[in-house]
Structure 1
Amino acid sequence: MQKKGIGLMTLIALVVSSSIGAGIFALSSDVAIVAAPGAVMIAWLIVGIGILALALSFSNLVIKRPDLEGIFAYAQAGFGDFAGFLSGWGYWLSAWLGNVAFATVLVSSLGYFYPIFKTGHNIPSIILASVIAWSLTYFVTRGVESAAVLNAIVAICKLIPLFVFIILAIILFKVNMFTKTFWGNVGTNFSAIDVLTQVKGCIMIMMWVFVGIEGATMMSSRAKNKKDASTATIIGVVGLLVIYSVVSLLPYGYLSRTELAGLPRPALVYLFQHMIGPIGGAIISIGLVISILGAWLSWTMLPAETVMLMSKDQLLPKQLAKVNRFNAPHIALLTTQILIQLFLFTLLFTNKAYEFAYSLCTAAIVITYSFVAAYQIKFSWINRRTTKNAWFQVAVGVIALVFEIVGIILAGAQFLLLAMIAYIPGLYFYVQAQKQKNPAYQMQTKEKVISILIIILGLIGLLLLILGKIKLR
C-alpha cells in the first residue's frame, strides 16, 4: 500500500509558495530605491551563492539525518536543547511576523479595487485581515496535508501572472534604458565604494524574499519520501533565484531608476498598469492576492508545526504538542493566531507595520539559518572520513554561515536587538518545559550567560526603540 503523505511536486510548491508572497511584488521599487542595475546584479550573485549554500545544507541534512524533524532539530542535535530552543523560537517568531507582513500588503492590494482598504491602516482593513487570518487557521486545523495540497494549486495560480509580467517586460525591454545609469544615478563611472553601499542596501530586501525556502524541510516528517524534501528544496530555490532576479532587473529596461523608486507599493501592480493600462494593474493585483493567500497558508502551517515539534522534543511546554482528530496542532495554531491578531491591531497606530514586520522576521530567521549552517559544518566535519563529499559539505556550511552573519550585519544589526525583545518571554517557556521533563532542572552556566545576554540586548533594543534611536524601515 502506498504511503500517505506529501509528494515531491507538493513539496516543491511548498518551497515556492512559502517564499513567494508579498516581497516579490514590491521588489522592483524596493531595490530601485537603494541600487542601480549593476549593483543589483552583484547583490544577486552574492545572495544567490549564500542562499544556494543554505539550500544545499538543508538538502544534505534532510538525507543524512532523516531522524530529525523540524528545522530547530539541527541546532538541538548539534549544540544541545538550549540551542534547539533558540533556533526554534527564532523560526516561530519569523513565521508569524511574516504573516503580519502578508496581511498589510494583502489589504493594501485589495485597495486597488476597493479604496476603503487602500491605506491598510484602518478598522475595515484590520477586520478583513483578521477574518482571513482566522479562516486560514480554521482551514489548517482541518488537516495539514490537505492544506499542503491546496497550497500546491495556489502556487501554480500565483506564478501565472508573474510569468505574464516577465514575458511582457522582456518584449518592452530597452537596452539603452537599462545601461544608461548602470552603476548609479549620476554619470556612468564605476565607484567601488558607491556600488558597495548599493549592494549593502539590497541585502535585507533580498534575504526577506527567500524566507520560506525551508518549507519542504519543515514538512519532511509528513513527506512520502525524505529524499523528496531534499530534491524539492534545491529545485525550488533555483527556480526562485531565476524568478526574483528577472523580476527585479527587467523593470530597469522599461522605466528609469527614479521612476521605479517612486512607484506606490506594491510596485509591480502599478508597473504593469503603466505597461498595458488598468487591466495590467488588475491582473497583478489578483495575482498578488492569490500569492499572499498562498504564502499566508504556508506560514499558517509552518509556525504551528514548529511549536508542535518543539513541544514533542520538550523544548516548549508539552500542552502545545496536542493535535486534534485531523492530526493538526490546534493548540499551537490557536496560540500563534492570537499573537498575530494582537499584532494586527498595531496597524491602527503605524504606517510602518510591513517594514517592521519583514525586517524583524528576517532578523529572527537568520538566527535559525545560522544554526542550520553551523550544524552542517559540524556534522560534515565529524563524518569527514566516512562521507565521500564531506569537504564539499563543510565548505557549503561555511559559505552559508558567513552569508547569514555578514548579511544581517550589513542589513542592520539593530533588528537583532529587536528580535531579542521577543526572545525574553520565550526563555520562561523553555524553563517551564525543562521542569516538566525534570522537576529538579536548573539552568547550566552557559544557558544562564546566554539568557542574561539576551535580556540585556532585548532591553537595550527596547530602550533604543522608545528613544527613537532605532528607525523602522
Structure 2
Amino acid sequence: MRTIKKRAIGKLELVALIVSSCIGAGIFGITTDISTAAAPGPALLAWLFVGLGILFLVLSLNNLSQKRPELESGVFSYAHEALGPLAEFIAGWTYWLSDWLGNIAIATMMMSALGTFFPIFGNGQTIVAILFAIVVGWVLTYLVNEGVENATFINTIGTFFKVCPLILFLIFVTISFKAGLFTANFWGNAVDNLNNSFKAGNLWTQIRSSLLTMIWVFIGIEGASVMAHRAKTRKEAEYASIVAFILLFLVYVLISILPYGVMTQAQLAKVGQPALGAILTKIIGWPGAIIINIGLIVSTFISWLSWTLLPAESTMLLARDKVLPPFWGKTNKKGAPKDSLILTASLQSIFLFSLLFTKQAYEFAYSLCVAASLFTYLFVCIYQIKLSRKENNWGQLLIGLLGAVFQLCCMILAGWQQVLLVAVSFIPGFYLYYKARKYYKKAISLPEKLVMIFLLLLGVLAIYLVIVGVIKISG
C-alpha cells in the first residue's frame, strides 16, 4: 500500500487559516449589529470583556498544546482528558454543528452582497439565492475533498485579497472621524429592537446585548489547535494563535467603534447589511458599496472554504477517537474525509431552506453557531483547570477558571435560548455516540447516561418552548 506524504502547514498558512476563518461575513455587518445594542462606551467595555475571555481561551489552548502535545485531536482531546469520552463527543459534536451553522450565516450575507449586482438574489433569502448558495457549498466541498492542504493554500492567497477592502474602509473612516460626534452620546441609549426607536438602556444591558455578536467574529480562533497535527511544529501552531488573536482584536475594535465618529448610533443601527458598504457609501459615494460588496463576496467565499474544512477535520478526529462511528472518519486517497464532507454538505443544503422562513436568518444562524461553540470552549477551560491543579500551576489555573467563567456567563446571560436549541441536536447526536460505543465495544457509564438524559430533557424543553412561542426562530 502506497504511503501518502502530507505537506505540513507553516506559520503563515496557519495564521491565514485562523484569520480567514474568523474574518468572514461577521466583520462586514458588525457595526450595525453592535450599534443596535450599544453606544460606543458600553461597546468598548464589552470588547474588553470579550477580548479577555477569548485571550484566556487562546492561552489555555497554547498551554495545553505545550503540556500535552501527544493529544492530536486538540480541543476534543482536552474534553476527553477533562471529563471522559462523552465530553469529547459533546465538544466535537457542537464544534461540528457550529461550523456548518456558521456557513448558513456566511451564505446569507454572501447572497445579500450578490444582490447588489444581481437583483434576482434580492436580500439573500430568495429561492434563486438559496439554490446558488447550495451550489457554492458543494463546489467548496469538492475543493476540500481534493486535498485539505491545497484548500489552505487557496485560503492563504484569498486572505490577502479579502483584507484589502477592510484596510480601505479603516483609512476612509479614520479620515472622516469626528471626535465631537463620537463623544456626544458616548454612554448613550440602546436601540429597542421591537420598534427601532431609542430608549434608555442601562450599561449592563448594552454590554450583555453585544456579547454574542462579538464572540461570533472570533469563532475559528481555535483553528490552529484543530489543525495542529498538520502543522510543522506545535510551537508554530501556538505562535499562530497569538498573532491571529492580536490582529483580529485590533481590527474588530477599530472597524466596529470608529464609525460612531462618522454617523450617529441611530443611523448606524438602521443602515442595514452589509453595514460597512452603507457607511463607506456615505463617505465616498456609491463606489463604497461596490468596494465593500466585492470584498464581502471574496471574504465570505474564502471563509466558507475554511469552514468547510474545519468541521470535516473535526468529525474525522472524533471517529479516530472512537466517539463517532467509523463512517465519519473514512478518508480518500488525498487524505480528505470524503463521507463526512458529503454528509455535512447535505445537511447544510437542507438547512439553507430555513432562510425562507425567518426574516433574521443571518442573526439566527450566527447566534446558534456561537451557542454551539461555547460548549467546546468550556471543556477546553475545564481541562486547563484540571491539568493546572494537578501541576500546582496556579497562574494557569486562574487563566482556565476565568475562561470557564466567561463561557458560562455568555451561555447563561446572553444565549440561553440558543443553548437550549443546540441541545436539540443531541437527540440524533447521542444515538450516533451510542452506536460508536457499541461498535467499539465500549460501555457507557452511569454518570454519562445521567448527563445524556439531562441534555436530552433540555432538548425536549427547547422543542416545547419553540411550540409555545417562548423561543422564536422565525422572527
Query: Counterpart in 2 of 1:277?
Result: 285
Query: Counterpart in 1 of 2:11?
Result: 8
2:58, 2:113 → 1: CA distance? 31
Query: Counterpart in 2 of 1:387?
Result: none
Alignment of 1:365-376 (within 5 A): 365-376=373-384
Do the aligned partners of 2:382 and 2:400 also contact (CA within 8 Å) in 1?
yes
Query: Counterpart in 2 of 1:429?
Result: 432
Do the aligned partners of 2:189 and 2:201 also contact (CA within 8 Å) in 1?
no
1:42 partner amino acid: L
Do the aligned partners of 2:102 and 2:369 also contact (CA within 8 Å) in 1?
yes
Query: Counterpart in 1 of 2:167?
Result: 163
1:282, 1:57 → 2: CA distance? 41
Query: Counterpart in 1 of 2:30?
Result: 27
Match of 1:57 among 46, 53, 60: 60
Q: 1:198 aligned to 2:199?
A: no
Cα distance, 1:3 vs. partner? 8.2
Q: 1:176 aligned to 2:180?
A: yes
1:420, 1:263 → 2: CA distance? 34
Provide closer, same or farther for how the CA distance between residues 3 and 455 of structure 1 changes in structure 2, counting only shifts above 3 A.
closer
1:146, 1:173 → 2: CA distance? 41
Do the aligned partners of 1:200 and 1:411 also contact (CA within 8 Å) in 2?
yes
Q: Given the two structures, how large is their TM-score scaled by the length of structure 2?
A: 0.95
Q: 1:86 aligned to 2:90?
A: yes
Provide closer, same or farther for how the CA distance between residues 107 and 236 of structure 1 changes in structure 2, counting only shifts above 3 A.
same
Cα distance, 1:443 vs. partner? 2.6
Aligned to 1:112, the other structure's residue is in SS state: helix
2:290, 2:351 → 1: CA distance? 29
2:297 partner amino acid: V
Provide closer, same or farther for how the CA distance between residues 362 and 3 of structure 1 changes in structure 2, counting only shifts above 3 A.
closer
Do the aligned partners of 2:30 and 2:256 also contact (CA within 8 Å) in 1?
yes
1:271, 1:46 → 2: CA distance? 26
Aligned to 2:425, the other structure's residue is in SS state: helix
Aligned to 2:36, the other structure's residue is in SS state: helix
Do the aligned partners of 1:317 and 1:430 also contact (CA within 8 Å) in 2?
yes
1:246 partner amino acid: L
Query: Counterpart in 1 of 2:241?
Result: 233
1:447, 1:408 → 2: CA distance? 22
Query: Counterpart in 1 of 2:301?
Result: 293
Q: 1:307 aligned to 2:311?
A: no
Aligned to 2:219, the other structure's residue is in SS state: coil
1:61, 1:469 → 2: CA distance? 40
Q: What is the RMSD of the two structures over their aligned residues, measured on CA atoms? A: 1.6
Cα distance, 1:29 vs. partner? 0.8
Q: 1:337 aligned to 2:340?
A: no
Match of 2:385 among 377, 395, 405: 377
Q: 1:144 aligned to 2:148?
A: yes
Query: Counterpart in 2 of 1:467?
Result: 468
Match of 2:20 among 17, 20, 23: 17
- Post-superposition CA distance 1:106-129 (Å, at most 9, x none): 101111111111221221111110
Do the aligned partners of 2:7 and 2:149 also contact (CA within 8 Å) in 1?
no
Provide closer, same or farther for how the CA distance between residues 354 and 3 of structure 1 changes in structure 2, counting only shifts above 3 A.
closer
Q: 1:444 aligned to 2:452?
A: no
Cα distance, 1:193 vs. partner? 7.4
Aligned to 2:100, the other structure's residue is in SS state: helix
Of 263-272 and 191-200, more deviation after overlay is shown by 191-200
Do the aligned partners of 1:223 and 1:229 also contact (CA within 8 Å) in 2?
yes
Q: 1:392 aligned to 2:400?
A: no
Report the number of matched residues: 461
- Post-superposition CA distance 1:90-113 (Å, at most 9, x none): 101101100111111110111111
Instruction: Detail structure 1 runs of 4+ shifted over 4 Å in the superposition.
Output: none
Aligned to 1:72, the other structure's residue is in SS state: helix
Cα distance, 1:77 vs. partner? 1.7
Cα distance, 1:409 vs. partner? 1.6
- Post-superposition CA distance 1:217-265 (Å, at most 9, x none): 1111111111111110011011110000000000000000000001111
Work out the percentage of aligned pairs sharing the same amino acid. 46
1:29 partner amino acid: T
Query: Counterpart in 2 of 1:106?
Result: 110
Aligned to 2:202, the other structure's residue is in SS state: helix
1:310, 1:210 → 2: CA distance? 23
1:454 partner amino acid: L
1:469 partner amino acid: V
Aligned to 1:368, the other structure's residue is in SS state: helix
Cα distance, 1:442 vs. partner? 4.3
Provide closer, same or farther for how the CA distance between residues 5 and 256 of structure 1 changes in structure 2, counting only shifts above 3 A.
same
Q: Given the two structures, how large is their TM-score scaled by the length of structure 1?
A: 0.95
Match of 2:372 among 351, 364, 380: 364
- Post-superposition CA distance 1:289-317 (Å, at most 9, x none): 11111111111000000000100110000
2:336, 2:228 → 1: CA distance? 15
1:281, 1:200 → 2: CA distance? 31
Do the aligned partners of 2:189 and 2:200 also contact (CA within 8 Å) in 1?
no
Of 249-258 and 74-83, more deviation after overlay is shown by 74-83
Match of 1:346 among 349, 354, 358: 354
Do the aligned partners of 1:36 and 1:257 also contact (CA within 8 Å) in 2?
yes
Alignment of 1:232-251 (within 5 A): 232-251=240-259
Cα distance, 1:65 vs. partner? 1.3
Structure 1 unpaired stretches of 5+ = 385-389
- Post-superposition CA distance 1:26-67 (Å, at most 9, x none): 111111111100101111111111111111111111222111
Query: Counterpart in 2 of 1:406?
Result: 409
Query: Counterpart in 2 of 1:96?
Result: 100
Aligned to 2:358, the other structure's residue is in SS state: coil
Do the aligned partners of 1:3 and 1:224 also contact (CA within 8 Å) in 2?
no
1:443, 1:4 → 2: CA distance? 38
